[in-house]
Amino acid sequence: MENAERDFNINTIAQTFKANADRAYGLYAPWVEETVASGVRCVREIEFLLDHILDFCFDQRMVELFRMLCRYYYDIDQRATAQYVHAYRELWDEQSSK
């Protein structure tokens, strides 16, 4: 594969990831904000959001949503929140991989 073709493929993949993150942010940001603002305490809903947001934490906006929801969830279930933070670190934190 030539360099130009490989660069095109990498750029196409990067653009796809960015577009998916944009869509995910548009979907999850209002949902997280509403969850926190309205005081939702449904563990299933909160964990659904955390699970799906975690998939997009290559995007800084999604990391901020994840952190916001983790801070909120901590008062509901400290242990589960710690597990989500650990999962984030395992998947995305460059410091933990060193």
12-47 pLDDT per residue, tens = 999 999 999 999 999 999 999 999 999 999 999 999
SS3 content of the chain, % helix, strand, coil (to 5): 85, 0, 15
Domain ranges of the chain: 3-97
81-98 pLDDT per residue, tens = 999 999 999 999 876 554
Side chain identity, residue 77: D
Query: Reduced to 3 states, what is the DSSP secondary structure of residue 2?
Result: coil
Residue 84 C-beta-side C-alpha neighbours within 13 Å? 28
